[in-house]
Amino acid sequence: MSNSDFPLRRESATIAFVDVVDSVRLIGQAEAQAVVRIRELLGHAAREFVPRCGGKVAERRGDGLVLKFLHTRDAVRCITMMHRHAGDEPAAAGQGQDRLRLRAGLHKTTLLTDDEAVYGIGVNLAARIAALGQPGDTLMSSAARDELMATLDGQLEDLGPCWLKNVEQPVRVFRHREQPVPLPEDISLAISSRMRLRPTIAILPLEGARSSGEFGNGFGNGFGNVTGNVTGNVNGGASGGASGGAAGFGLGDVFADQLTRTLSQSSMLHVISALSTRALRGRDLPPQALYAMLRADFLLRGRIEVDASASEQLQRVQLQLGLWRRGADEPVWMERVGASALDLLSPHGEILGRVAHAVSQRILAIEQRAAQAAQALPNLASHTLYLNAVDLLHRFAIDDFNRARDLLLALSERAPRHAEPLAWLARWHVFRVVQGWSDHRKRDSDEALHYSERALDRDPGSSLALTMAGAVHAGVNRDAEVAQKFYAQALHHNPNDSLAWLMSGVAQGFMNEREPALCASEMALGLAPVDPTRHYYDALAATAALRAGAYERCVALARRSIHANATHGTAYRSMAIALAMLERPDEAAEAVRQLMGVEPHFTVRTYLARVPSQDANREHFAELLSRAGLPAD
């Protein structure tokens, strides 16, 4: 049977190209022995590790393997096992040969496949990425990296745009290491101390259930099968079935997000951000790991069953919810509720209010005051569009950044009464100014103010709109005092707005309010422990630490930010100044050199133009940057 007899089909997959480093040299030294060793190493991986991680060997290529996985997380787990196994393989000392070492390249793509092989540009790209690697390296494209979380999946170091053989445009490449970059112990202890002031709750996205009969499992003793809400497939998988599926997970995400927003109105609770909890989907984590990772005292978990036979707005939904307390073997609160999909999506619906009231009552033993939640996005497509736009906005890669604006404009038209798209559009124009990307500073400044005012017109009580209004005054008008007033209003409306805390820390740092600056940044990091834009939180927390005189903390946070995203100039600037203050001039000069690679047109004059006038250190810090090699003009 020829290849043409196998029909081609398209599949979305993570392709991993793994090969033995220096195989030609090893074979040249002792051909037969090297070939046997390579075959045994790759054969063991193909038989043992690949199936264990849910992968498939797509091709054997002599000294390498082409592997296919549904998710990048599975690919990384498999390749980590392969690296460890290769490290245990003894060197062939009798033949004068070294120990075998592997390198791997990963890319998430839509490829062409049949029953014998995989084809397409994405397969070749994975091989080209692997070719950049050193012994023991696992490198990946940004498309593969986007399926991982730096805190949960190890260390992801941004290597920046890399030129690959026979590829016309540079490709942004990331290096994976098994161990993540931890927060320094003193910062971690400070955050823990800050979070202990109030009980902390994390609301996890709901698991899809195949039938109402499944709801009885897992709620009697401990977590039981409820652990599935962080191990379930995003597309429904085995737990989705006909009645759960993608719709069940989408509605569960929205309900968890709306509940997070509502509980965040309470000044008596810390509420972990929805982006951080959503990042845990698909992860088989034991309860104690969840409590420790999120610094949570309570976890709200549950299941959702959707009757897919009706239209989207008329679908009936069954929920089973449980509240667990750290250290408890049984849920401290449970409830079963039925509702329409429309009622589930509404921030003013009876279901959301009843659950929020019951949960806060159980945790705090007092009634939660009625508060108006932010208006819901009109449908699931808008909700997804919104999350994608916010993610692209914070990547600080110009193509992604521009695409974020297109998504936000489309979303603003789709949701004409919603404040948040306009607030993020204001932030987009602020970034254009402060990142030096604007070709017309006044026009972008005016647009930022325009969108900020429109967002507040739509919802004067929106904490996000107030936070972005403060960002406009800080970034465009360079007025930290006015900015801080907006951040204070945002936190009055929502004491758990992690972004408002983050921006407030920077503003108070510029105003030389050292202790409040550190406190605010610690709150921000505590409320967003695994946020997808963690690099941005680290970069701004580094800025706050610099202004507060905590120079070692600044360097640690800046380096963690750069590891996760090497394109945000703020982290380099703060790190260079802090290193100069610590009398480490060579390291400060290297940080400025790296800064110039990210922002080649940045100068001392540019720096002074971006720093608020209230900053008493602006002239001194500008001089330090100049001594470290930053051009004056």
Closest to 376 measured CA to CA, from 397, 402, 394, 349: 349
pLDDT band, residue 43 (cuts 50/70/90): very high
Domain of residue 245: give its range. 185-364
Average pLDDT of 437-463?
Answer: 90
Q: CATH number of the domain that 625 lies in?
A: 1.25.40.10
Q: Residue 514 pLDDT > 90, yes or no? A: yes
Note whether 156 and 195 are same-domain residues.
Answer: no
Residue 303 lies inside a defined structural domain of this protein: yes
Note whether 230 and 297 are same-domain residues.
Answer: yes
Pairing outcome for strands 270-271 and 200-203: parallel
Residue 113: strand pairing partners: 9, 118
Tell me the per-residue pLDDT of 579-595, one tens digit each, with 9 for 90 and over: 999 999 999 999 999 99
Tell whether the torsion through CA atoms of 600, 105, 144 and 81 is positive or negative. negative
413 contacts: CB under 8 Å, gap ≥ 6 = none
Note whether 87 and 196 are same-domain residues.
Answer: no
Return the minimum-mean-pLDDT range out of 171-180, 201-210, 538-547: 201-210
Q: How many domains does the chain have?
A: 4
Assess contact for 524 and 541: CB atoms under 8 A: yes
- What are the start-end ranges of the E strands in 286-417? 298-306, 316-325, 333-340
Average pLDDT of 596-619?
Answer: 90
- What are the start-end ranges of the E strands in 327-428? 333-340
Residue 70 lies inside a defined structural domain of this protein: yes
The SS3 of residue 8 is coil
Determine the residue type at 16: A
247-274 in b/e burial notation, b at 16+ Cβ within 10 A? bbbbbbbbbbbbbbbbbbbbeebbbbbb
Note whether 344 and 387 are same-domain residues.
Answer: no
The encoded tokens of residue 491 equal 């936190």
| The predicted structure's pLDDT at residue 241 | 31
Average pLDDT of 469-483?
Answer: 90
| The predicted structure's pLDDT at residue 216 | 39
Q: What is the C-alpha to C-alpha distance for residues 354 and 285, in angstroms, rounded to an integer?
A: 29
Q: Residue 221 pLDDT > 60, yes or no? A: no
Assess contact for 220 and 261: CB atoms under 8 A: no
H-assigned helices in 142-286: 142-145, 185-195, 237-240, 245-263, 274-278
Q: Which residue has the higher pLDDT, 500 or 351?
A: 500
| The predicted structure's pLDDT at residue 503 | 95
pLDDT band, residue 28 (cuts 50/70/90): confident
Q: What is the C-alpha to C-alpha distance for residues 228 and 217, in angstroms, rounded to an integer?
A: 11
Return the minimum-mean-pLDDT range out of 23-32, 242-251, 472-481, 505-514: 242-251
| The predicted structure's pLDDT at residue 369 | 34
Q: Tell me, what DSSP letter sits at residue 327? A: T
Q: Which residue has the higher pLDDT, 232 or 509?
A: 509
| The predicted structure's pLDDT at residue 413 | 84
| The predicted structure's pLDDT at residue 407 | 87
pLDDT band, residue 114 (cuts 50/70/90): confident
80 contacts: CB under 8 Å, gap ≥ 6 = 138, 178
Tell me the per-residue pLDDT of 59-77, one tens digit each, with 9 for 90 and over: 888 889 999 999 999 999 9
Note whether 35 and 77 are same-domain residues.
Answer: yes
585 contacts: CB under 8 Å, gap ≥ 6 = 579, 627, 628
The SS3 of residue 86 is helix
Q: Residue 368 pLDDT > 60, yes or no? A: no
Q: What is the C-alpha to C-alpha distance for residues 200 and 209, in angstroms, rounded to an integer?
A: 27
Residue 504 lies inside a defined structural domain of this protein: no
595 contacts: CB under 8 Å, gap ≥ 6 = 569, 572, 573, 576, 602, 630
Note whether 144 and 250 are same-domain residues.
Answer: no
Residue 370 lies inside a defined structural domain of this protein: no
Note whether 42 and 16 are same-domain residues.
Answer: yes
The encoded tokens of residue 553 equal 């903390």
Q: Tell me, what DSSP letter sits at residue 369? A: P
Q: How many angstroms from the chain centroid is the CA of residue 117? A: 33
Assess contact for 16 and 126: CB atoms under 8 A: yes
Q: How many angstroms from the chain centroid is the CA of residue 115? A: 35
Determine the residue type at 552: E
Residue 377 lies inside a defined structural domain of this protein: no
Q: What is the C-alpha to C-alpha distance for residues 266 and 262, in angstroms, rounded to an integer?
A: 8
Residue 168 lies inside a defined structural domain of this protein: yes
For the stretch 594-598, contacts whose Cβ atoms lie closer than 8 Å and that sit 24 or more positions apart, written own/partner, are 594/562, 595/569, 595/630, 596/630, 597/160, 598/566, 598/567, 598/568, 598/569, 598/572
Tell me the per-residue pLDDT of 237-282, one tens digit each, with 9 for 90 and over: 333 332 333 344 477 788 888 889 888 877 667 899 888 888 887 7
Q: What is the C-alpha to C-alpha distance for residues 36 and 266, in angstroms, rounded to an integer?
A: 65
Assess contact for 541 and 502: CB atoms under 8 A: yes
Note whether 459 and 565 are same-domain residues.
Answer: no
Q: Residue 378 pLDDT > 80, yes or no? A: no
The encoded tokens of residue 483 equal 């900015």
Closest to 599 measured CA to CA, from 396, 436, 438, 397: 436
For tokens 């992860």, the residue is 283
User: Which of 302, 337, 364 delimits the end of a domain?
Assistant: 364
Residue 512 lies inside a defined structural domain of this protein: no
| The predicted structure's pLDDT at residue 428 | 93
pLDDT band, residue 94 (cuts 50/70/90): very low
Q: Residue 15 pLDDT > 90, yes or no? A: yes
Question: How far from each other are the two terminal CA atoms of the chain, in whole angstroms?
Answer: 69
Average pLDDT over the chain reads: 82
Q: CATH number of the domain that 228 lies in?
A: 3.40.50
Note whether 312 and 387 are same-domain residues.
Answer: no
For tokens 């590891």, the residue is 563
Note whether 109 and 189 are same-domain residues.
Answer: no
Q: Work out the burial of residue 222: count CB atoms within 10 Å of its CB; fewer than 13 is exposed, 13-18 middle, 19 or more buried.
A: middle
Q: CATH number of the domain that 33 lies in?
A: 3.30.70.1230
Assess contact for 497 and 264: CB atoms under 8 A: yes
pLDDT band, residue 106 (cuts 50/70/90): very high
| The predicted structure's pLDDT at residue 343 | 76
The fraction of the chain above a pLDDT of 70, given in percent, is: 85
| The predicted structure's pLDDT at residue 91 | 58
Note whether 446 and 530 are same-domain residues.
Answer: no
Q: Residue 618 pLDDT > 50, yes or no? A: yes
User: Which of 316, 331, 364 delimits the end of a domain?
Assistant: 364
Residue 304: strand pairing partners: 208, 319
Q: What is the C-alpha to C-alpha distance for residues 138 and 161, in angstroms, rounded to an integer?
A: 16
Q: What is the C-alpha to C-alpha distance for residues 435 and 606, in angstroms, rounded to an integer?
A: 10
Q: What is the C-alpha to C-alpha distance for residues 476 and 478, in angstroms, rounded to an integer?
A: 6
Q: What is the C-alpha to C-alpha distance for residues 350 and 331, in angstroms, rounded to an integer?
A: 23
Residue 373 lies inside a defined structural domain of this protein: no
User: Which of 480, 495, 510 delimits the end of a domain?
Assistant: 495
Note whether 151 and 29 are same-domain residues.
Answer: yes
Q: Residue 415 pLDDT > 80, yes or no? A: no
Tell me the per-residue pLDDT of 153-195, one tens digit each, with 9 for 90 and over: 888 899 999 999 888 889 999 999 988 777 788 888 887 767 7
| The predicted structure's pLDDT at residue 240 | 31
Q: Which residue has the higher pLDDT, 498 or 352?
A: 498
pLDDT band, residue 52 (cuts 50/70/90): very high
587 contacts: CB under 8 Å, gap ≥ 6 = 579
CA angle at 11 for the pair 116 and 385, rounded to the nearest 5°: 165
The fraction of the chain above a pLDDT of 90, given in percent, is: 40
Residue 238: Cβ within 10 Å count: 11
pLDDT band, residue 224 (cuts 50/70/90): very low
Return the minimum-mean-pLDDT range out of 307-316, 529-538, 610-619: 307-316
pLDDT band, residue 196 (cuts 50/70/90): low
